């Protein structure tokens, strides 16, 4: 059994609801969608018990009906496990993972700035990556975002 298959097997044994959700796209690339309420359990298990100890990055995206947030985790720099949660578009909130990975700080601030996803538990700090005078409720990576004139931003 390949390393990828044994990862899939172990997760399915531990979390029966996860059956069929784990997809091996190609060697060293695994994707899985997960309901938001089970996210932290699985994330914790991947990081603490299965040694997915490197967070490559967090990708956020506007899926119109929902927001998708993907945590790209890697084990020994080899296998990349992309764990995705879909969250409500009206009240987008996720829990911070800075308790696991300090470097998630920048990635989570990107989610707040560019998509307007509220990250609960993120320590107060400077915004990233938009300028300080950018309007707080203007999130350019949302699909309905339109370029505004200079005066609107003045």
Partner 1 sequence: MHNSQDVKVPFGPQHPALKEPESFLVTLRGEKITASSVKIGYNHRGIEKACEERTYIQDLYLIERICGICSHSHATAFAQAVEEIAGLEVPKRALYIRSLIGELERVHSHLLWLGVAGHEIGFDTLLMYTWRDREVVMDILSLLTGNRVNYGMNTIGGVRRDITPAQAKEVLKAVDILEERTKYYIKIATQETTIIDRLSGVGVLSKKDAISLGAVGPTARASGVARDVRKDDPYAAYGELDFKVITANTCDVYGRTVVRVQELMESYKMIRQILKDMPEGPITVRAPRKIPAGEAASRYEAPRGEDFHYVRSNGTEKPDRVKVRAPTLANVQAVSKMLEDRYLADMPIVIAAIDPCFSCTDRSIVIKNSGAKNSKTVPWEVLHVQSIEWYKERRGIDFSALNKKYAKAFKI
Binding residues for partner 1, per CB under 8 A? Answer: 25-26, 28-29, 31, 53-57, 59, 61, 70, 72, 76-78, 80, 82, 101-103, 105-107, 114, 125-131, 140-141, 145
Q: Are strands 54-62 and 66-75 parallel, antiparallel or unpaired?
A: antiparallel
Smallest distance, Å, CB 16 to partner 1? 26
With a CB cutoff of 8 Å and minimum separation 6, the contacts of 137 are: 116
Smallest distance, Å, CB 125 to partner 1? 8
CA distance 139 to 113: 6
Smallest distance, Å, CB 130 to partner 1? 7
Which residues face 68 on adjacent strands?
61, 86
Smallest distance, Å, CB 141 to partner 1? 6
Q: Based on CB atoms, which residue is closest to partner 1, 16 or 131?
A: 131
Phi and psi, residue 15, nearest 5°: -120, 90
Q: Based on CB atoms, which residue is closest to partner 1, 11 or 73?
A: 73
Q: Based on CB atoms, which residue is closest to partner 1, 11 or 47?
A: 47
> H/E/C letters for each residue in 98-153?
CCCCCCHHHHHHHHHHHHCCEEECCCCCCCCCCCCCCCCCCCCCCCCCCCCCHHHH
Q: Based on CB atoms, which residue is closest to partner 1, 36 or 98?
A: 98
């Amino acid at each position: 059994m390949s390393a990828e298959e044994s990862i899939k097997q172990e997760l399915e044994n531990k979390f029966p609801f996860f059956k069929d959700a784990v997809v091996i796209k190609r060697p060293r690339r695994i994707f899985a969608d997960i309901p938001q309420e089970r996210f932290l359990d699985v994330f914790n298990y991947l990081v603490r018990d299965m040694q997915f100890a490197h967070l490559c990055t967090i990708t956020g995206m506007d899926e119109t009906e929902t927001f998708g947030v993907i945590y790209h985790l890697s084990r020994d720099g080899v296998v990349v496990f992309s764990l995705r949660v879909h969250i409500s578009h009206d009240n987008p909130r996720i829990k911070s993972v800075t308790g696991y990975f300090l470097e998630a700080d920048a990635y989570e601030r990107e989610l707040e700035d560019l998509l307007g996803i509220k990250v609960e538990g993120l320590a107060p700090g400077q915004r990233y990556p938009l300028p300080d005078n950018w309007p707080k409720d203007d999130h350019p990576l949302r699909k309905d975002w339109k370029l505004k004139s200079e005066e609107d931003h003045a």
